[in-house]
Copies of this chain bind each other. A is one copy, B any other.
Amino acid sequence: MRLNVRFAGSGGQGVILASVLLSKAYGLGENYNIAQTQSYGPEARGGACKAEVVISDKEIDYMKVNKADVFVALNQVGYDKYIDTVKDDAVVLINSTLVESDRPNVYRIQATQRAEDMGKPFVVNIIALGALTRLMPKVHYPAVEEEIKNNFNASIAAVNLDAYKMGYDIMDEDLKNLGYKTGFGESRQW
């Protein structure tokens, strides 16, 4: 098994933290091998920040994500920049408050709107991470929850745990309506 995951968004949206938390959940919680990569440089100033995670049950020799199996876009600039480098059957999750897409079979989470409704605009990434966790195979709710607890001081862990649960529950409802166990629908076996 190898899953190539790419996150895109603006720096302030917490794309890198979301990718790190997912990496730790798979790596430390679920015992997979993980390579997590981010780029810094001229492009990082252009509003399209990228972070990548490779998840594998084998040693990872090639760390680069070329075509993504999973693509999460928190802003339109990031979506536009990377949407052409996802596989045909990829799981695509967009922050639908800020991103428009005419691609069929896109998963949507109103992450920015929900974060604003909570009065906690900084949890956009964690709401999206909750929705993403529900879409992913082979990772369980408590594994990500544990890494959120470990990452934050107790005082902000609580609001992030709420955001995580909200994102997860919203996507859980959507998937139940579709009859899918993961965001890959029936197209892949895990």
Task: Give A residues with C-beta under 8 Å from B.
Answer: 23-24, 26-28, 31-42, 44-45, 60-64
Contact = CB atoms under 8 A, between A and B. Distances in A.
- If over half of A's interface residues share one DSSP class (helix, strand or loop), that class is named, otherwise mixed; here it is mixed
Contacts of A35: 37-39
A173 to B, nearest CB: 30
Contacts of A26: 40
Contacts of A44: 27-28
A38 B36 contact: yes
Contacts of A38: 23, 35-36
Nearest to A28: B40
Residue from the set A28, A31, A40, A60 with the largest chain B CB neighbour count within 10 Å: A40
B42 A31 contact: yes
B37 A23 contact: no
26 contacts: A23-B38, A23-B40, A24-B40, A26-B40, A27-B39, A27-B40, A27-B44, A28-B40, A28-B41, A31-B42, A32-B41, A33-B39, A33-B41, A33-B42, A34-B41, A35-B37, A35-B38, A36-B37, A36-B38, A36-B40, A37-B37, A39-B60, A61-B64, A62-B64, A63-B63, A63-B64
